[in-house]
């Protein structure tokens, strides 16, 4: 894994925004579209607001960007906990992509049905390949080493055929939908954003794991894509 450390959260966000912008520019120039899976959480929200404002927003042709989500809570799209709602308010409403370019996980549906329908939507990206190859999957990491909604000990971690599954997390009331490892590892680019001292221990464990099977984030290893970790100095203190 390539880890780039930045002095503070602000510098981290600026670097991440520039990286996403450059990748979007290149993909749109080379093949006319940019397929991007968004992440939820406070750290990505700050990134989305940067991308939606000057000067970066003007560098991306947002009519060529297709938005996906790597995970979602099983809640309606206007719910306070919806990853879609956060991305809509911080990015989508401000850059106004075509409606058909926004491919949200439908958390308001019964979870197995929502997962199945999202797989059908992703299948348009797969042909003629076996798996969809998204240009960029943005991910975060929890203090327990989880990423997307792949938590330590979850049965979703063992899924080898499905691209999207519904999963329940012990101690949490709301079920979730999540990309599985096969889909994450088929991406052309995976970018982790990690900030804050509460992530330091998990980041150190992911970097040099004693038990890699216990840490979902460590198991994200693109087969033929690029993996990059952008972290702030607080998260990197134990590296």
Quick: pLDDT tens for 85-108. 999 999 999 999 999 999 999 999
Please name the residues in contact with 161: beta carbons below 8 A apart, sequence gap of 6 or more: 182
Instruction: State what percent of residues in the chain have pLDDT above 90.
Output: 88
pLDDT for res 41:
87
Per-residue confidence at 75, pLDDT binned at 50, 70, 90? very high
In the predicted structure, residue 214 carries a pLDDT above the cut 90: no
What mean pLDDT do residues 15-38 have? 98
* pLDDT digits 0-9 by tens, 44-72: 999 999 999 999 999 999 999 999 999 99
pLDDT for res 45:
96
pLDDT for res 208:
79
**pTM confidence score:** 0.96
* pLDDT digits 0-9 by tens, 136-171: 999 999 999 999 999 998 999 999 999 999 998 776
Supply the mean pLDDT for the chain.
95
pLDDT for res 160:
95
* C-alpha closest to that of 176 among 78, 90, 69: 69
pLDDT for res 91:
98
Which of 147-169 are b and which e, b meaning 16 or more Cβ less than 10 Å from the residue's Cβ? bbbbbeebebbebeeebbbbbbe
In the predicted structure, residue 195 carries a pLDDT above the cut 90: yes
In the predicted structure, residue 209 carries a pLDDT above the cut 70: no
What mean pLDDT do residues 187-207 have? 96
* Domain 2-179+196-210+222-232 belongs in CATH node 1.10.10.10: no
């Amino acid at each position: 894994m390539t880890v780039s450390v930045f002095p503070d959260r602000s510098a981290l966000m600026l670097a991440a925004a520039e990286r996403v912008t450059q990748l979007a520019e290149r993909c749109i120039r080379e093949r006319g579209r940019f397929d991007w899976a968004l992440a939820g959480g406070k750290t990505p929200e700050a990134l989305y607001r940067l991308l939606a404002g000057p000067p970066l927003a003007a560098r991306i042709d947002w009519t060529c960007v297709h938005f996906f989500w790597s995970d979602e809570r099983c809640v309606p799209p206007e719910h306070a906990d919806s990853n879609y709602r956060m991305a809509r308010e911080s990015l989508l409403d401000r850059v106004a992509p075509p409606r058909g370019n926004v491919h949200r996980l439908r958390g308001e549906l019964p979870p197995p049905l929502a997962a199945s329908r999202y797989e059908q939507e992703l299948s348009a990206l797969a042909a003629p390949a076996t798996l969809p190859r998204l240009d960029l999957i943005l991910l975060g990491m929890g203090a327990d080493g989880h990423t997307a909604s792949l938590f330590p000990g979850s049965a979703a971690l063992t899924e080898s055929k499905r691209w999207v599954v519904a999963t329940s997390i012990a101690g949490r009331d709301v079920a979730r939908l999540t990309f599985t490892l096969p889909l994450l590892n088929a991406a052309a680019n995976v970018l982790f954003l990690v900030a804050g001292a509460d992530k330091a221990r998990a980041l150190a464990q992911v970097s040099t794991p004693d038990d890699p099977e216990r840490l979902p984030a460590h198991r994200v290893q693109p087969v033929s894509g690029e993996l990059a970790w952008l972290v702030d100095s607080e998260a990197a203190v134990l590296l």
